[in-house]
Chains A and B, each alone.
Chain A
Amino acid sequence: MSQLTELYQEVILDHYRNPRNAKPIEKETHSAEGHNPLCGDDVEVHLLIEDGVVADVSVRGVGCAISTASSSLMSEAIRGKSLDEVEQMFERFHAMVTSPIDAPAPIDGLGKLEVLAGVRNYPVRIKCATLPWHALKSAIAGSSEPVTTEAGE
């Protein structure tokens, strides 16, 4: 598989064309926006957290294939997970997409999210994949400030 076909593999294109959990949810307890000022990508994360578990989720945005697919895959991955599990998933996902390209990507415990490992080869696109995750983290932390990909990384 070439780097390009690894980046734009079928699963990613499918989630780009048909993003999951993109409809508004009726009840929510947490939300946040994410913004990438360099490319103009926007994402909104809405969560219903009950008893420390992500009971419902909606992720919507305007962006490239990578950020849209990452949002969609994230929404599937976190549904029904405890906040501890979500936190761990954030760390693992971040570690995968920022890992050095001369070794296999650490994909343990990431399930379907591993399809995004290909962004490692495209440093300028890593932020596309991490944008929804930063918005998620911000929503859970209850911060009202929109996150941007330019505020540290």
Chain B
Amino acid sequence: MTSVRDAVSFDVERIRRDFPILGKGIAYLDNAATTQKPQRVIDRITRFYREQNGNVHRGVHDLSVMATREYEGARQRIAKDINAKSEREIVFVRGTTEAINLVAQSFVRPKLKQGSRVLITAMEHHSNIVPWQAICGETGAKLDVAPIDDNGDVVLEAFDRLVRKGPVIASFASVSNALGTVNPIKEMIEMCKSNGVPTLIDGAQSVPHTRVDVRDIDCDFFAFSSHKAFGPTGIGALYGREELLNAMQPYQYGGDMILYVSFEHTEYAPSPARFEAGTPHIAGAIGMAEAIDYVREIGDFRLHENRLIDSAVQRLHEIDGVRLVGMPKRRMGVVSFLLDGVHPHDVGTILNESGVAIRAGHHCAQPLMHRFDIPGTCRASFAFYNNEAEVDALIAGVRKAKEVFSQ
């Protein structure tokens, strides 16, 4: 556990030196898209390729044994970090998107028939809409969408009503990538559990900011990406309860996911091998675990992050003509806003000229944008390595955009 002293003593300027890309003139405020990597993660991946590279689970030679040990060690590290019961509950995937697709295809689709339901919320990322829409379309099932209010919070009574209709799964984000809303996932999962509805949590935007305990929140599945949490791209994890995973159909077929193959019949391996056909992203998994180790060692940064976000919200709010999109009860990582009379893309271009990287657009959440009747937003998203000087740069850039458009 981290102490109060750690929280106060979190030294952002020291932390920034761990990230070679920072401090070179770009205020990087697009962390909800992807985060930067500390030297330690970059070095770990390099060391794997330089010293430990072999294929996993198949060789009798030393390099293969070493690669297998590191890869499975990474799985154990992740299982421990999120408090899974066993490493067999951790499936390596390409990222959150693949994790959701895996659950959609292997757990949900076989259960769907005409009249079945799937439940999501109105704030989901396209990756937590489209996979469900596709399988509902194929089977005649219905996709229910729990509404959100004008602040960007899920309307819990409506969510509960839809849970009572008995969907095959309820799949929702822990934190909204477009608004920064922190959903009360424990409460929502409890609603689902008391109605026997399995849950999948899209943890892509919460994992970079807070540690998850999957047994405490008591979800059935939890999906997240490494690249949004200071690790490499192309790797992520799906947590699933072991008994559910072992009852599921494989997702892809090939080597490494079998017990026995003949031309007539194949017996599939249990989880996680069952879902990891082919050579996995070994270096990615090792880098992912290294990033977790790094983040757990730098101390408690929640206070620092919260102060930064509060400051950004406050200072944007003070600019005449800025409208914040989404004022959720609890916010994490993300501030979405609009500048009167200036399209988000033009704000984004002008901010880029001022050395500030933000995202402008619909943030892969077009239905959410329709909900607010806007084409998109400007999104500044933060990580623990951001500092107040970068908030200054954001504010100066937004003022500059206002000035350019007021000529």
Chain A interface (Cβ < 8 Å from any Cβ of B)? 3-5, 7-8, 10, 13, 17, 38-41, 62-66, 68, 122, 125, 128
Cβ-defined contact, B366 with A65, below 8 A: no
Which residues of B have CB within 8 Å of A66? 345-346
Residues of A within 8 A of B376 (CB): 39-40
A and B contact pairs by CB, cutoff 8 A, 13 listed: A4-B404, A10-B407, A38-B361, A39-B362, A39-B376, A40-B361, A40-B375, A63-B375, A64-B343, A65-B342, A65-B343, A65-B405, A68-B343
Q: Which of B341, B361, B405 contacts A8 (CB 8 A)?
A: B405
B345 near A128 (CB under 8 angstroms)? Answer: yes
How many residue pairs bridge A and B at CB < 8 Å?
A: 47
B336 vs chain A, min Cβ distance (A): 15
Q: Distance (Å) between the CB of B401 and the closest chain A CB?
A: 9
Beta-carbon contact of A64 and B407 below 8 Å: no
CB pair A64–B345 under 8 Å, yes or no, is yes
Distance between A104 CB and nearest chain B CB, rounded to angstroms: 22
Whether, in the assembled complex, B324 has its beta carbon less than 8 Å from a beta carbon of chain A, the answer is no
Q: A13 → chain B, closest Cβ, in Å?
A: 6
Contact status A122-B375, CB under 8 Å: no
In the complex, which residues 98-140 of chain B have their Cβ closer than 8 Å to any Cβ of chain A?
Answer: none
Chain B 315-369 residues near chain A, CB threshold 8 A = 341-346, 349-350, 353, 360-362, 366, 369
Residues of A within 8 A of B366 (CB): 40
User: Known contacts being A63-B343, A64-B345, A66-B346, is A5 close to B375, with CB within 8 Å?
Assistant: no
Please, how many angstroms separate the alpha-carbon atoms of A132 and B188 in the complex? Answer: 45
Determine if B375 and A62 form an interchain contact, defined as CB atoms under 8 angstroms apart.
Answer: yes
Interface size class of B (residues with CB under 8 A): 10 to 19
Residue from B343, B353, B376 having most chain A Cβ neighbours under 10 A:
B343
Residue of A nearest to B406 (CB): A13
Q: Is the CB–CB distance between A125 and B375 below 8 Å?
A: no
**CA separation between A13 and B345, bound complex, in Å?**
14
Q: Report whether A39 and B345 are in contact in the complex, using a CB–CB cutoff of 8 Å.
A: yes
- A122 contacts which chain B residues (CB < 8 A)? 349
Shortest distance from the beta carbon of A113 to any chain B beta carbon, whole Å = 19
Q: A40-B361, A40-B375 are in contact. Are A4 and B350 (CB under 8 A)?
A: yes
Q: How many whole Å from B11's CB to the nearest CB in chain A?
A: 36
Contacts of B407 in A (CB 8 A): 8, 10, 13
Alpha-carbon distance A41/B344, docked complex (angstroms): 11
User: Could you say which of A4, A10, A66 has the most chain B C-beta atoms within 10 Å of its C-beta?
Assistant: A4
B405 and A13 contacting across the interface, CB-CB below 8 Å: yes
Cβ of A5: which chain B residues have Cβ within 8 Å of it? 404
> A65 touching B346 by the CB < 8 A rule?
yes
Cα separation A122 to B375 with both chains bound (whole Å):
21
Bound CA–CA A11/B145 (angstroms): 44
Among residues of B, the one whose C-beta sits closest to the C-beta of A128 is B345
Q: Per-position contact with A for B171-184: 1 when CB-CB < 8 Å, else 0?
A: 00000000000000
Check A40 against B369 for contact (C-beta < 8 Å): yes
Which 10 residue pairs across A and B have the least CB separation, nearest first? A64-B343, A64-B345, A65-B346, A40-B362, A39-B361, A8-B404, A4-B353, A64-B346, A40-B375, A62-B375
For the complex formed, measure the closest distance between the CB of A82 and the CB atoms of chain B, giving whole angstroms.
33
Q: Which residues of B contact A64 (CB under 8 A)?
A: 343-346
- Residues from chain B with a CB closer than 8 A to the CB of A41 are 375
| Extra A-B contacts (6), CB below 8 Å, given A4-B350, A8-B405, A125-B345 | A39-B345, A41-B375, A62-B375, A64-B343, A65-B405, A122-B349
CB distance from B97 to the nearest CB of A (A): 17
Most chain A C-beta atoms within 10 Å of own C-beta, residue among B344, B346, B350: B346
Which residue of A has the minimal Cβ distance to B404? A8
Q: Give B390-407 interface residues, CB cut-off 8 Å to A.
A: 404-405, 407
How far is the CB of A143 from the nearest CB of chain B, in Å?
Answer: 24
Query: How far is the CB of A33 from the nearest CB of chain B, in Å?
Result: 15
A3→B376 CA distance, assembly (Å): 25
In the assembly, what is the distance between CA of A65 and CA of B347, in Å?
10
Q: Measured between alpha carbons, how far is A34 from B173 in the docked complex, in Å?
A: 32
Q: In the complex, what residue of chain A is closest to B360 when comparing beta carbons?
A: A39
CB-nearest residue of chain A to B341:
A17
| Most chain B beta-carbon neighbours within 10 Å: one of A10, A39, A63 | A39
Name the residue of chain A whose CB is nearest to the CB of B376.
A40
